[in-house]
Each structure stands twice: as structure tokens, then as C-alpha cells.
């Protein structure tokens, strides 16, 4: 009985160690449009140094919805519905950043440019899409890891291919070796447990 518990514990530990770390995130573009509302925005998002750098430019937005609600704010929403303010569109332009992965963007009219919750006055909305680099070129996937030292983003040179540099090569190698050793140890325990079980049944 004790052997079976040890084997179960080893399997649980192995499964936990081989779970994927962090959340996959994509750089992208978005076109924000509204139904029955004039105006549109184009937004680009590039992942640099552990956060998304978001640039937006809008056209034909009204100067103010009303004397009170005279500020337009851009918001990001992730797959769980969590919303985050990216900033105020000043003159139809915005440059902001966030470390939160997001799938949707929308623009609201607000009284205050620093509110933490969007109003119900949503004017423009759009979904993020991957950047199309052309045929035969796949978009680069980056992995956000919740550690103090963020993984380096893709380094782009105009005359060279895209290169993705890892945070620490030695740490990654040690981690891989440790996982292999642990997996081998788990397999050995399984064999010992099976042999012990078979020998007990023969003795009965």
C-alpha cells in the first residue's frame, strides 16, 4: 500500500513539472468599428520587453458626446472578460501598454480619463487578429512567464531573420535534466511497485 502511494505521488509530481508554463500570446492588429456610429480606429499591438505596446489612431470621432462625457477611452478585454483601461484617445491618438493578454478592444465615452471601469457608452469595438506577414511566414509566438525576469522578446533586424532569445540557457538545461531524471526515477518506482505486487500474489 505504501509503494502505491509513492508511485501516485511521483506521477503527480511528474505531471505538474511537465505542464506548460505561462500563457501563449500573439502580437496583432484590430479595426474598431461601431454600428450606426461615425468614426473608426486602427490599433496595433507589439510585444516588447514583457508588455504589449499599443498604438491607436482614430478618424471622424465626435469632439464630445456631451458637455460632461467629453473623453474617449480605449479598453482591452481578455478571454475571461477582464477589462483594462489602456488610456485616453487625445486627438484621436493613443500610445499605451499592458502586460495583460487581450482579445478585444473597445472605445467608450467617459467623464473622467482615469476611471477604472468602462461606462455603457461603447462606441467602437473590434477583435484582435494576427499580423499577416505574407505567404510562408508564420507569426512569432511569444510566451509570457510570470517571473521577475521576463523572457526576452523577439529581436528583429531588418537584414536578418527573426531570432527568439531565451532568458537563461543554463537554467533551462538544468531544468530539462532534472525532469528527465525525475521521469526515470518515476518509471523505476513503477517497475518496483509492479514486481512487488506480482511477488505478493505469487506468495499467496
- pLDDT > 70 fraction of the chain, expressed in percent and rounded: 65
Return d(Cα 142, Cα 160) in angstroms, integer: 19
Q: Which of 30-34, 40-44, 132-136 has the lowest mean pLDDT?
A: 132-136
Return d(Cα 135, Cα 119) in angstroms, integer: 41
Return d(Cα 90, Cα 94) in angstroms, integer: 7
Q: Does residue 47 fall inside a structural domain?
A: yes
Q: Does residue 110 fall inside a structural domain?
A: yes
Give yes or no for residue 97 having a pLDDT over 90.
yes
Q: Looking at residues 87-94, what average pLDDT do you find?
A: 94
Give residue 96's pLDDT.
94
CB–CB of 119/109 below 8 Å? yes
Highest mean pLDDT among 4-8, 23-27, 156-160: 23-27
Q: Binning pLDDT at 50, 70 and 90, where does residue 17 land?
A: very low
User: How would DSSP label each residue in 104-153?
Assistant: EEEEEEES-TT-SS--S-EEEEEE-EE----TT-PPPPEEE--SSSPPPP
Residues 6+ apart with CB under 8 A from 98: 51, 52, 54, 76, 84, 86
Q: What is the pLDDT of residues 41-83, one digit of tens each?
A: 999 999 999 999 999 999 988 766 677 888 999 999 999 999 9
Give yes or no for residue 4 having a pLDDT over 60.
no
Q: Are residues 122 and 185 in the same domain?
A: no
Give residue 13's pLDDT.
45
Q: Does residue 73 fall inside a structural domain?
A: yes
Q: Looking at residues 195-201, what average pLDDT do you find?
A: 75
- Structurally, the chain folds into a number of domains equal to 2
Give yes or no for residue 161 having a pLDDT over 60.
no
Q: Looking at residues 145-157, what average pLDDT do you find?
A: 41
Return d(Cα 204, Cα 199) in angstroms, integer: 9
Q: Are residues 89 and 116 in the same domain?
A: yes
Domain that holds residue 118: 24-144
Q: What is the overall mean pLDDT for the chain?
A: 75
Cell numbers for 8: 501516485
Return d(Cα 149, Cα 71) in angstroms, integer: 36
Q: Does residue 35 fall inside a structural domain?
A: yes
Q: Are residues 45 and 15 in the same domain?
A: no
Q: Are residues 49 and 112 in the same domain?
A: yes
Q: Are residues 101 and 125 in the same domain?
A: yes
Q: Are residues 194 and 135 in the same domain?
A: no
Give residue 19's pLDDT.
40
Return d(Cα 138, Cα 27) in angstroms, integer: 12
User: How would DSSP label each residue in 21-75?
Assistant: PSEEE--EEEEEB-TT---EEEEEEEEETTEEEEEEEEES--S-SSSS--EEEEE
Q: Are residues 43 and 81 in the same domain?
A: yes
Q: Are residues 17 and 49 in the same domain?
A: no
Q: Are residues 30 and 106 in the same domain?
A: yes
Give residue 204's pLDDT.
64
CB–CB of 43/29 below 8 Å? yes
Q: Does residue 156 fall inside a structural domain?
A: no
Q: Binning pLDDT at 50, 70 and 90, where does residue 192 land?
A: confident
Q: Are residues 37 and 102 in the same domain?
A: yes
Q: Are residues 47 and 113 in the same domain?
A: yes
Of 141, 173, 166, give the one whose Cα is nearest residue 151: 166
Give residue 139's pLDDT.
65
Q: Are residues 57 and 74 in the same domain?
A: yes
Of 52, 153, 50, give the one whose Cα is nearest residue 94: 52
Give residue 43's pLDDT.
97
Give yes or no for residue 117 having a pLDDT over 80.
yes
Amino acid at each position: 500500500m505504501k509503494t502505491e502511494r509513492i508511485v501516485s505521488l511521483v506521477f503527480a509530481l511528474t505531471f505538474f513539472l511537465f505542464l506548460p508554463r505561462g500563457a501563449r500570446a500573439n502580437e496583432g492588429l484590430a479595426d474598431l468599428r461601431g454600428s450606426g456610429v461615425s468614426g473608426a480606429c486602427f490599433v496595433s499591438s507589439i510585444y516588447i520587453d514583457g508588455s504589449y505596446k499599443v498604438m491607436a489612431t482614430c478618424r471622424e470621432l465626435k469632439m464630445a458626446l456631451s458637455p460632461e462625457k467629453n473623453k474617449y477611452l480605449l479598453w482591452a478585454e481578455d478571454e475571461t472578460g477582464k477589462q483594462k483601461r489602456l488610456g485616453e484617445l487625445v486627438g484621436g491618438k493613443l500610445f499605451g501598454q499592458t502586460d495583460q493578454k487581450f482579445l478585444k478592444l473597445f472605445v467608450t465615452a467617459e467623464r473622467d480619463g482615469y476611471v477604472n471601469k468602462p461606462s455603457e457608452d461603447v462606441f467602437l469595438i473590434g477583435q484582435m487578429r494576427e499580423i499577416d506577414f505574407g505567404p510562408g511566414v508564420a507569426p512569432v509566438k511569444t510566451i509570457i512567464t510570470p517571473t521577475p525576469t521576463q523572457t526576452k522578446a523577439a529581436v528583429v533586424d531588418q537584414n536578418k531573420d527573426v531570432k527568439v532569445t531565451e532568458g537563461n540557457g543554463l537554467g533551462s538545461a538544468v531544468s530539462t535534466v532534472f525532469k528527465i531524471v525525475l521521469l526515470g526515477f518515476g518509471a523505476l518506482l513503477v517497475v518496483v511497485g509492479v514486481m512487488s505486487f506480482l511477488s505478493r500474489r505469487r506468495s499467496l
